[in-house]
Amino acid sequence: MSDDIEKSAAEWRAQLTPEQYRVCREQGTEPAFSGCYHDFKGQGVYRCVCCGEPLFRSSEKYDSGSGWPSFWQPLAPEALDEQTDLSHGMRRTEVRCRHCAAHLGHVFPDGPQPTGLRYCINSVALRFEPKSEG
């Protein structure tokens, strides 16, 4: 993409909180059940905390019991980039924002229909935008 966002580590550190930087730029994970969106029920759109790109809709969010916000599909497939993650002795599929390469979480093949997918996303990687009235 020609509009990809590239910033230095110093620029990202200046923009993000230490926890946002740790998770989004260093592939960290927030503790289960600690994020502000894991049990959040608001209606609207979840955006990337780093660049503001729309990633998920509340209408595709569900309670997976995992302790992280979970979605059965992204707002648009082209919003995300997937990469193999072999860390922690596991083989997982990492999910990143395609626009700025922020680490968001992982996707697993154990979600509900119609996709059968569970996008398990760190709350700290998201910014919620409420649905506008009218």
Distance from the Cα of residue 122 to its chain's centroid: 6
Q: What whole-number distance in Å separates Cα of residue 28 and Cα of residue 108?
A: 17
User: For position 1, what pLDDT does the model report?
Assistant: 38
pLDDT in tens, 73-93: 999 989 999 999 888 788 899
- CA 15 → CA 5, 20, 103, distances in Å? 13, 9, 16
| Residue 111 burial (CB count, 10 A) | 20
Residue 24 identity? C
Both tokens of residue 57? 């809709």
CA dist 94 and 119 (Å) reads 10
What is the C-alpha separation between 77 and 25, in angstroms, rounded? 21
Residues of the chain under the 70 pLDDT cut = 1-3, 133-134
Looking at the domain that runs over 32-129, which CATH code has it been given? 2.170.150.20
Reported as a single tens digit per residue, the pLDDT across 26-41 is 999 999 999 999 999 9
pLDDT at residue number 89: 85
Q: How far apart are CA 37 and CA 45, in angstroms?
A: 12
Q: Give the pTM.
A: 0.92
| Residues labelled as active-site residues | 120
